[in-house]
Amino acid sequence: MNTNASALPIVLSAENVVMRFGGITATNNVTLNLRQGARHALIGPNGAGKTTLINLLTGVLEPTEGRITLEGQDITTLAPHQRVRRGLVRTFQINQLFDTLTPLQTLAMVVSQQKGLGGQWWQVLGASKGIAGKAVVARCEALLAQFHLTEVMNQPTQVLAYGKRRLLEIAIALACEPRVLLLDEPVAGVPAGEREELLQTVAALPADVSVLLIEHDMDLVFSFATRMTVLVNGTVLTEGDPQDIANDPRVKAVYLGHGNAGGDVGGGAHG
């Protein structure tokens, strides 16, 4: 981690967050700070509470205790769509993509909404575009190129290769112009032959966007993150730079105890 990174402002913060479901405490007094321009990974074995924490950050759940702030503003009780408007965006789940729309149509819809054009996205793809329409088309073309989707931009999403669907997912999130992007297992289920393009795209995300990566693939985690938080049984076990985490005997013990025969946290452990 850069020596001056700790001096950068905190853009997203969970402070002493607790989430109880009846008698079960899924998230126990978790504090996590995401700094400006961060490349921060959240890791931990299955059942560690990662999904619960992400749902708390994005507003799907409201914490039992604690608070969540975005750029200094308390967002603990804000709805998910209100958080998106403020620049906190999570990658869409695959089943939320519009199967019958093409990548171009999908991105035109999102970008049009972002630029205040509402449901006029279909007009900007027609002959009469106007200044606003041209701006939408230009933004869509840039996103399609950035996410290696230009060649498939006119194919229905349902026929795209799985890796391309994941790329479209991240493109949609970036089209919302996030200041904070939560990448939720971007390579999950992606075949080996389609992964490299996805990994390169994740690595090339804009530097001014602060990224929190939730991922089981340790190769991706260690190639991407400059800061890592390890969650175990709903509690933060430790936080540090990748080298600290890879050499931490407590972290190794956690992954050894969850079926990682090699015990190498930095080389393929899955949680």
State how far the Cα of 177 lies from the Cα of 135, in Å rounded to an integer.
14
Domains and CATH numbers, the chain: 7-87+178-271 (3.40.50.300), 98-175 (no CATH)
Within 1-118, strands assigned E span 10-21, 24-35, 39-43, 65-70, 73-74, 88-90
State how far the Cα of 40 lies from the Cα of 46, in Å rounded to an integer.
19
For residue range 161-187, what is the model confidence (pLDDT) as tens digits? 999 999 999 999 999 999 999 998 888
**Crossing angle for the helix pair 162-175 and 103-114, to the nearest 10 degrees:** 10
CB-CB contact of 64 with 20 (8 Å): yes
Work out the average pLDDT over 24-44.
96
pTM over 0.75: yes
More confident residue, 3 or 123: 123
CB-CB contact of 225 with 215 (8 Å): no
| Residue 58: pLDDT over 50 | yes
For residue range 193-222, what is the model confidence (pLDDT) as tens digits? 888 888 889 889 999 999 999 988 888 899
DSSP 8-class letter at 84? H
pLDDT at 137: 87
pLDDT at 96: 65
Going from the C-alpha of 196 to that of each of 37, 187, 201, 222, 261, the distances in angstroms are 23, 10, 9, 15, 25
